[in-house]
């Protein structure tokens, strides 16, 4: 037995502690198989363990992404030399043990992306050397301990994506060392303190998606070290203070609050802005033309407010702009042709305003444009044929306007288009056969126009199509049998046209077809039978007096004689 | 005090200059860098900050 005793003695104290920690993980057998109590196994060589070169005590534990579950053993507090503890991206539950406060030299704790519950232990405040505390993405509850302000070396505090409640402790703001404060996606309440600008070393301030109310403190301009200020999706109200113009931030996210009043013109002087998001508030008045001065800004979101007036042509000076969303406001006037200068513009959303006039032809100079939405305005004139030059376009929505004229002949050149919606306009003429070249098209909506002529047989080439809505037009002729090639077609709306002939039996090959409406046409003959058609009700066929079959209300001729 | 100095210089900001911020690497230019707030990728955009870039290396401005 002497040999056994020798072995036990040979395993260091820290080694024995590690075995206790292993034991409290419920499934560590595989991941930590080399954590083994026999003497010839030096804990310093175990997976994820780092030791001090001289004292051989454990200084680091890195057990990320090992699918560990169970709990963190209170024994962790016995690792007196532990400086680095990284258990992120496991499934560890239970509470953060109070004993963690006994690891007096801990500098770094990352327990993010686990299933930890309960409060953040106050004992963490004993860790005077702690520089990084990341508890993001757990199920922690209770308040943020105000005693965290007693950590003189804390640089990174990331408690995002938990269920923390209560106010942000004001004492936390009295740190010249803190650089990163991540509190998004919790249930924090209270107001923003004017003390927040005492964080003279902070660059990242993120309280997005909480229940914070009240106003932005008037001295916000003193937060000159901030690079990112994210106050989005809270209950903040009042006006955006003038002093915001003194910030040096690259990202200003104020969306999803209840801010009122005008957009302060001074924001146009904040050229360090990369992202400006004021969307989904209650902002009124004009878009300040001075915003055109933001020549380094890539993303400008002003949608979902009560903005009036015209779109300032000066926005055409924002040459680095890739996202411009002005939709869901009350903007009037014409779309300024100066927007054609935005050569890096990727997304332009002007939907649901009161814009009128024509789409400027030189919008086709926005070579990078991928998404163009002008739905729900009073735009008129014809659809500019120049749009065909936008060969990066994947989404084009011109619906609910006053557009007239025909669909340009060579729209089929916009080969990457996945959505084309020109519904609820006054479009006339026939559908150009080139539309059938749009092989990536998922959604094609031409509903409620004055389109005449036949459905192009080339539509049989729309091999990705999911929704085809040609209803409420003046389409003539037969339903092309080529539509039977559309294997991905889910919804086919042809109602309220002047289509004639039989429903082609080839449509029974459209195996994905779930919704069909051919009502109110001049179709005749027997509705095809088969599993696809058995799911459609008589409503799909109503208003075609010569259509018969089991799915309709009319029995076909030879049967009615019986 | 700094408050007085700021009010003299007025509101507004500009991108970093990045002159001599990339050590000996040249050229050193300001770029927008997305800061991913979580591991989970969302459809939403990420906040962005300025960094100085030389080749494929980033430096604090």
Q: Do B48 and A204 touch (CB under 8 A)?
A: no
Is pLDDT at A540 greater than 50 in this prediction? Answer: yes
Provide mean pLDDT across the span A43-66: 94
Q: For the segment A240-280, what is each residue's pLDDT rounded down to a tens digit?
A: 999 999 999 999 999 999 999 999 999 999 999 999 999 99
Of B13, B47, B48, Cβ closest to residue A270: B13
Is pLDDT at A8 greater than 60 in this prediction? Answer: no
Is pLDDT at A519 greater than 60 in this prediction? Answer: yes
Cα A509-A511-A517 angle, rounded to 5 deg: 85
Q: Which long-range contacts (CB under 8 A, 24 or more apart) does A147-154 make?
A: A147/A122, A148/A120, A148/A124, A148/A172, A149/A174, A149/A175, A150/A125, A151/A124, A151/A125, A151/A127, A152/A128, A152/A177, A153/A107, A153/A128, A153/A129, A153/A177, A154/A130, A154/A178
What is the full DSSP assignment across A132-179?
A: EEE--SSEE-SPPPGGGGG-TT--EEE--SS---SBPPGGGG--SS--
pTM of the model: 0.92
Q: Do A221 and B47 touch (CB under 8 A)?
A: no
Q: Do A246 and B48 touch (CB under 8 A)?
A: no
Q: For the segment A183-206, what is each residue's pLDDT rounded down to a tens digit?
A: 999 999 999 999 999 999 999 999
Residue B13 touches chain A, beta carbons under 8 Å: yes
Of A221, A272, A323, Cβ closest to residue B15: A272
Regarding an ipTM greater than 0.90, the answer is no
Q: For the segment A16-28, what is each residue's pLDDT rounded down to a tens digit?
A: 999 999 999 998 8
CB < 8 Å to B45, chain A: 275, 299, 323
DSSP code at position A473 = S
CB < 8 Å to B40, chain A: 137
**Among A335, A374, A388, which Cα is nearest to A358's?**
A335
> Distance (Å) from the C-alpha of residue A269 to the closest C-alpha of chain B?
4
Element (H, E) at A108: strand A108-110
CB < 8 Å to A184, chain B: 37
**Among A549, A496, A498, which Cα is nearest to A522's?**
A498
> Distance (Å) from the C-alpha of residue A248 to the closest C-alpha of chain B?
5
- Looking up tokens 């459809």, which residue turns up? B43
DSSP code at position A407 = P
Is pLDDT at B2 greater than 60 in this prediction? Answer: no
DSSP code at position A22 = H
């Amino acid at each position: 037995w002497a040999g056994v005793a020798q072995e036990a003695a040979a395993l260091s104290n820290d080694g024995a502690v590690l075995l206790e920690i292993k034991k409290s993980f419920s499934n560590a057998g595989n991941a930590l198989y080399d954590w083994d109590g026999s003497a010839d196994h030096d804990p310093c060589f175990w997976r994820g363990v780092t030791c001090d070169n001289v004292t051989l005590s454990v200084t680091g534990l890195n057990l990320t992404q090992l699918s560990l579950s169970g709990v963190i053993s209170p024994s962790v507090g016995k690792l007196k030399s532990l400086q680095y503890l990284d258990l992120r991206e496991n499934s560890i539950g239970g509470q953060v043990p109070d004993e963690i406060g006994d690891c007096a030299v801990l500098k770094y704790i990352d327990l993010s992306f686990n299933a930890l519950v309960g409060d953040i232990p106050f004992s963490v405040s004993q860790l005077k050397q702690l520089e990084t505390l990341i508890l993001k993405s757990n199920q922690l509850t209770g308040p943020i301990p105000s005693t965290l302000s007693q950590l003189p070396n804390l640089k990174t505090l990331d408690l995002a994506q938990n269920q923390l409640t209560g106010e942000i402790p004001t004492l936390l703001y009295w740190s010249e060392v803190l650089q990163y404060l991540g509190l998004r996606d919790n249930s924090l309440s209270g107001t923003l303190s004017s003390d927040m600008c005492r964080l003279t070393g902070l660059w990242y301030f993120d309280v997005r998606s909480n229940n914070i109310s009240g106003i932005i403190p008037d001295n916000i301009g003193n937060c000159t070290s901030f690079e990112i200020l994210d106050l989005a999706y809270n209950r903040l109200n009042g006006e955006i203070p003038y002093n915001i113009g003194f910030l040096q931030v690259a990202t200003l996210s104020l969306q999803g609050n209840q801010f009122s009043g005008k957009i302060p013109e001074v924001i146009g002087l904040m050229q360090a802005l990369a992202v400006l998001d004021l969307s989904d508030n209650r902002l009124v008045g004009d878009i300040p033309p001075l915003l055109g001065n933001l020549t380094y800004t890539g993303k400008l979101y002003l949608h979902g407010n009560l903005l009036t007036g015209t779109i300032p042509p000066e926005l055409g000076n924002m040459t680095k702009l890739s996202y411009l969303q002005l939709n869901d406001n009350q903007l009037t006037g014409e779309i300024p042709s100066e927007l054609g200068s935005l050569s890096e513009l990727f997304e332009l959303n002007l939907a649901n305003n009161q814009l009128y006039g024509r789409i400027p032809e030189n919008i086709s100079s926005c070579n990078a444009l991928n998404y163009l939405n002008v739905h729900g305005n009073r735009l008129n004139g014809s659809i500019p044929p120049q749009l065909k030059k936008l060969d990066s376009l994947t989404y084009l929505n011109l619906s609910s306007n006053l557009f007239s004229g025909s669909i340009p002949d060579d729209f089929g050149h916009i080969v990457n288009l996945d959505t084309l919606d020109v519904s609820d306009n006054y479009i006339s003429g026939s559908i150009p056969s080139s539309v059938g070249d749009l092989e990536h098209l998922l959604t094609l909506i031409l509903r409620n126009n004055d389109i005449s002529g036949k459905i192009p047989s080339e539509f049989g080439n729309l091999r990705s199509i999911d929704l085809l809505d040609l209803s409420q037009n003046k389409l003539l002729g037969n339903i092309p049998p080529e539509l039977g090639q559309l294997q991905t077609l889910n919804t086919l709306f042809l109602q309220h046209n002047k289509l004639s002939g039989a429903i082609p039996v080839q449509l029974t090959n459209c195996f994905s077809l779930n919704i069909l409406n051919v009502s109110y046409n001049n179709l005749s003959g027997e509705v095809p039978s088969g599993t696809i058609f058995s799911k459609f009700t008589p409503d799909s066929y109503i208003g075609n007096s010569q259509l018969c079959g089991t799915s309709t209300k009319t029995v076909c001729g030879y049967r009615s004689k019986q | 005090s700094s408050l007085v100095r700021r009010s003299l210089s007025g509101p507004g900001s500009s991108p970093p200059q990045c002159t001599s911020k990339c050590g000996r690497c040249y050229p050193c230019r300001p770029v927008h860098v997305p800061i991913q707030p979580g591991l989970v990728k969302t459809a939403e955009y990420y906040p962005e900050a300025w960094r100085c870039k030389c080749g494929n290396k980033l430096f604090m401005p």
